[in-house]
Amino acid sequence: MKPRYLIIGMGAAGVSAAEAIRDASAEAEITLIGDERVGFYSRPGLAYYLTQEIPEKHLFPFGKEDFQRLRLQILHARVVDIAPQEHYVTLHDGRKLAYDRLLIATGASAAQPSLPNTKKLQGIVKLDNYADAQDIRKLSRRARAAVVIGGGITALEIVEGLQENGVKTHYFLRGERYWGNVLDEAESRIIENRLKEEGVDIHYHTEAEEILEKRGKVVGVRTKAGQQIKCSIVAYAIGIRPRIKLAESIGLQIERGILVNEFMQSSIPDIFAAGDVAQVFDPYSGQYVIDSLWGPARLQGRAAGLAMIGEGVPYHKGVPFNVTRLAGLTTTIIGQVGSGADKDLVGIARGDSETWRQLPDAIACQQSFDINHLRLQIGNQRILGSIVMGDQTLSQPLRHLIARKANITSIKDSLLMPQAPIADLIAAFWAEWRKDHEI
C-alpha cells in the first residue's frame, strides 16, 4: 500500500511540506487539510491588500495548475481530533482519515487582549487571516475612527491599512515609544514621525480599559486614564499564540509551541510539526524558539516533508532575517538587535542618510529613500545584528557577515568612532571579504 501523508494546515509550512513530499515521491498519497475557505494565500500580502496596494489576486501564489501538478487531495475541513495510536484524524463533520505520517502545520493566531467584550462586538478586529482583512476593509467603508492596540509589526500594518482606507486612527502605545524592545529610540521616532505625518494620532502610555458598545457594536474606548475616544473599530495585535490545542490533546511535548528536533519530528515519532506552531532549536540563542516568519515556515515545511518521506535533511535555523515595512519604510532586521540581545555587545554603530554604494547583491525593496538609517550591534570580533532602514543595499551583505560570523576586528574601531561612515566601511569590508568566501 502507498504511504499516506496527512498535513493539517494549508499555509506556508503545510504547502511546502506537500511540495517536498511530491518532489521526492511520485507515488505518495498526500492529503492537505485546511480550514480556510480561500485555501493557500500569502499572509504577509494581507498588509498590502489592506492598503489596497495590491489586488486580491496577488495574494495567491499558487494557481490551479500548481496544485494539479502536485496531485494532492485537498480538503476544506477542520481537524478536531487526532488518534495517534490508531493513526487517524477526525474532521469537524465526523469523517475519519487514516495516515502513516502526520504533519501539524496549524500556524498561530492573534493573542486576545484581556478586555471584556473582545469576541462579541461588531467592530473588534485582528489581522490573522484573509477573512480578517476583508472584515477590516468592509468596516472601514463606514467607519470614521478606529483605535489600534499593540506594539509590533502587525499593529502598524493595521494602523496603515485603516489610515489608507480613510479612517482616522488612534494608535495606543503602552510605553513611551514604538516597538521599544526591538528598535532604539531614534528608530522608534523615525517611525512615529512618519505615522504622525500620515495623520495617525499616537497616544503614549495609554491602555484600553473598556470597549464601549451600543446594540452590539463598538462605539468607543475608555482608557485606563479615563479618556473616552469615539470609534467604531477596535483592532488589536498584541502577539501570537501557536495553535497547539490538537497537539496538547495527544500529549505532545510542548513549551510555547510543539517541540521538534532537527527533522521537525515531535515527541511522537510519526507526527511532525512545522511553521508558526513549531518550536525549533536556535543555535544563536541556544534556546528553542518560534520563528513566526514566512521564509522559515517554508523551509521548516520542506524539512518536515523530506523527513516524513524518509529523506530527512536536518533543519538548521538561520540567522533571524526579517524584511518588513514600517510606516512605509522598508526595514530589515537581522540577527540580534533587541533588548536582551546584548550579552556579547561591545558597542553600537549608527549611520543616517549616507549615500550608500551599489553592491551586486543588493536587494532593493524601495526605489526612493527619504530616510536611510543603519544600526550595527557590534560584538568583540563580529557583528551581532543590524537594522537597515530605507536603502536596502547592505541588508544581504550584512546577513552573510552576521550569519557567517565574519571577523571584523580590522574595522571594529573605525566603526565605533563617532560619526563613522559605517555604511562605507561595511561596503568596503564586504567587497574584500566576499573574495575569499563562497556566498
Ligand X SMILES: Cc1cc2nc3c(=O)[nH]c(=O)nc-3n(C[C@H](O)[C@H](O)[C@H](O)COP(=O)(O)OP(=O)(O)OC[C@H]3O[C@@H](n4cnc5c(N)ncnc54)[C@H](O)[C@@H]3O)c2cc1C
Query: Does residue 317 belong to the site contacting ligand X (CB under 6 A)?
Result: no
Selected from 20, 28, 33, 327, the binder of ligand X by CB under 6 A is 33
Query: Does residue 118 belong to the site contacting ligand X (CB under 6 A)?
Result: no
Q: Looking at 36-44, 223-231, 412-420, 427-435, which segment touches ligand X (CB under 6 A)? A: 36-44
Selected from 29, 56, 100, 128, the binder of ligand X by CB under 6 A is 128
Closer to ligand X by CB, 232 or 279: give it: 279
Closer to ligand X by CB, 333 or 423: give it: 333
8 Å CB contact between 251 and 227: no
Task: Label residues 95-104 b or e (16+ Cβ within 10 Å = b).
Answer: eebebebbbb
Q: CA 300, CA 259: separation in Å to the nearest integer?
A: 13
8 Å CB contact between 409 and 425: no
Write each residue from 364 to 403 as x if it is in contact with ligand X (CB under 6 A), else as -, in one continuous string. Answer: ----------------------------------------
Q: How far is the CB of 34 from ligand X (least distance, A)?
A: 5
> Is residue 368 packed enough to be buried (19+ CB in 10 Å), middle (13-18) or exposed (0-12)?
exposed
Selected from 3, 62, 67, 78, the binder of ligand X by CB under 6 A is 78
Write each residue from 320 to 359 as x if it is in contact with ligand X (CB under 6 A), else as -, in one continuous string. Answer: --x-x-----------------------------------
Query: Does residue 275 belong to the site contacting ligand X (CB under 6 A)?
Result: yes
Query: Does residue 266 belong to the site contacting ligand X (CB under 6 A)?
Result: no
Q: How far is the CB of 99 from ligand X (least distance, A)?
A: 14
Query: Does residue 13 belong to the site contacting ligand X (CB under 6 A)?
Result: yes
Selected from 12, 244, 401, 422, the binder of ligand X by CB under 6 A is 12
Binding site for ligand X (CB under 6 A): 8-14, 33-36, 43-44, 46-47, 78-79, 105-107, 127-128, 154, 157, 243, 246, 275-277, 292-295, 297, 322, 324
